[in-house]
Amino acid sequence: MKTVLSILFSSILFVIAGCSTSKQVTALKPLPDYSSTTVVYDKQLSYINMPVEVSVADLQNQTNKYLVGIIYDDKSLDGDNVMMKVTKEAPIAIKEQNGRIYIDLPLRINGKVKYGFESLGVSMYDTRDFYLNGVVKLNSLVALKDWKINTNTVIQEIVWKESPSISVAGKNVPITYLINPAISVFKGRLSKMVDDAIAQSLDIKPYVLDALQAIAAPIQVDEQYNTWFAMQPVEMYATKAVAANKKITATLGLKTYLETSVGRKPSLTFNKNAIALKAVDKIPNEFKVNVAAFAPYTYASEIIQKNFAGQKFESGKKSVTVNKIDLWGKEGKMIVAVNMSGSVNGDFYLSGVPLYDATTKEVYLDQVDYVLDSKSKLLKAGSWLAHGIILNKIKQNCRFSIASQLAEGEKSMKSYLTNYQPVKGVKVNGALNQFTPDKIILTPNAIVAMMTANGKVAVTIDGLE
């Protein structure tokens, strides 16, 4: 009788245990695989305005450097009976007015004039020295050609401090009519000399190419995630040069690739000697750049885990609770490790394609399903968790905001678009006004959201030395 009761009691315990004991399922853990995203390169074709500004003060300084000392020397009396040595007497003064450049050139003339007559085979000539001080007044229109700001200079007038004359028998005799032919020749040469001096002083090519060399160097914008930003200039455009507001502005534009690199410094090479300057009627003003936002896997896991907090997934009398979430990448998909307890205990693995929701600024998973081994184990255990209803509930909670990360990425990029000065005299300024989601990339260190930003950017080159 005791034996029968013992067997009966054991059977009851087995039935109770069978009804209350949860199932333990052990699924194979998928290993991380970032072989295709260890290094991420993304680039956009953009156009950048590059106005080169030269103040009239700089132009004046440079022209005075190139135009010094003796600027004209005619050592022969032959032909016009005049010898002249013209020297710059004081610094040139330059101003801008109504789109033109006005130049005052103080000069001194030391000369000889031959005068007299010849009659019946008898020559009656004399030679006298003369000295003149005056200011040549010139004006110029500016243009841009072959990397140089060119001028078309004309002489308005020569203002003499006193009329050209010589002393004969104690009297001042005007010699204007004698030296005018020589002055006319000199005036023509002086205009060209001024144009040549300005062209030499305003050769903007070395300044522009040095500026490109500086801004094309890769910049590390995020040390933690080894993120770099680099430019690859393709060609330069030019429209015109304008004189206004006490400066000369050459309107240039740069066609360039802008590259964002995650995981490695870009190995871009820039050959400044290969850049050509093309004349165009209008320069495109379309600036695009990729901005990277980084969300660590631990951050995303914590957010998703909070989404599951207080939730119990039920089907009839069966239920489970999510205890812990872990995330990593595998071949471009997000692996979600879910630790559950309740009617089913264990770690299960789902995979999904990470996408970006522009409305909520969240990353969510699409095409979510159990990893093959997890699904197989659940089906073998006859688990209700493998059904679509529960899977959809899990999917709804697998999302996390990256709004703060996007703001940080935008802030990092803006720091290089606000008076950024890679070298003296070169400033980068701009604004980004539209962000469009591009792609989500899973790297070994973080979930990277790539955004394409539109805006306007200008690189200003100011001043010559």
19 lies in some domain? no
What the block records as the tokens of 114 is: 């031959």
Answer yes or no: is pLDDT of 12 > 60: no
Is 374 contained in some domain?
Answer: no
Whole-number pLDDT of residue 4:
42
Per DSSP, the three-state class of 177 is helix
Q: Is the whole-model pTM more than 0.85?
A: no
Question: What are the two backbone dihedrals, phi and then psi, of residue 141, each rounded to the nearest 5 degrees?
Answer: -100, 145
Residue 435 has pLDDT above 90, yes or no: no
Query: pLDDT at position 382, please?
Result: 64
- Domain range for 111 is 56-201
**Whole-angstrom distance, CA of residue 86 vs CA of residue 69:** 9
Distance CA 82, CA 75 (A): 9
Average pLDDT over the chain reads 82
Contacts of residue 20, defined as CB under 8 A and 6 or more positions apart, other chains included, come to none
The 10 Å Cβ neighbour count of residue 63 is: 23
Distance of CA 314 to the CA centre of its chain: 55
Residue 98 gets the label, from left (phi > 0), alpha (psi -120 to 50) or beta, of left
Q: What integer pLDDT is reported at residue 2 of this predicted model? A: 44
Which CATH number do you get for residue 157? 3.15.10
pLDDT (tens digit per residue) in 325-334: 999 999 989 9
Taking residues 360-372, what's their average pLDDT? 91
**Nearest CA among 161, 162, 144, 142 for reference residue 152:** 142
Q: Distance of alpha carbon 228 from its chain centroid, rounded?
A: 13
Confidence grade of residue 5 (pLDDT, cut at 50, 70, 90): very low
Does the pLDDT of residue 22 top 60, yes or no?
yes
- pLDDT > 60? residue 465: no
User: H or E stretch including 161?
Assistant: none
pLDDT digits (tens, 9 = 90+) for 255-286: 988 888 888 888 777 888 888 888 888 888 88
How many C-beta neighbours within 10 Å does residue 81 have?
Answer: 18
Domain count of the fold of the chain: 1
HSE-CB for 137 with a 13 A CA cutoff? 6
Assess if residue 94 is contained within a domain: yes
* Of residues 387, 249, 283, the one with CA closest to residue 49: 283
Contact 343, 318 (CB under 8 A): yes
Residue 313 domain flag = no
- The stretch 388-398 carries a mean pLDDT of 83
- Whether 263 maps to a domain, the answer reads no
Give 271: exposed, middle or buried? Use CB within 10 Å, 0-12, 13-18, 19+.
Answer: exposed
Mean pLDDT is highest, among 35-49, 162-176, 288-302, for: 288-302
Of the two residues 123 and 403, the one the predictor is more confident about is 403
Helix (H) or strand (E) segment spanning residue 186: helix 176-201
Domain-embedded: residue 451: no
pLDDT band, residue 20 (cuts 50/70/90): very low
**Domain-located, residue 175:** yes
Burial grade of 124 (CB within 10 A; 0-12, 13-18, 19 or more): exposed
Cα radius of gyration rounded to whole Å, the chain:
41
Mean pLDDT in residue range 104-121: 77
165 domain residue, yes or no: yes
DSSP letter assigned to residue 424: T
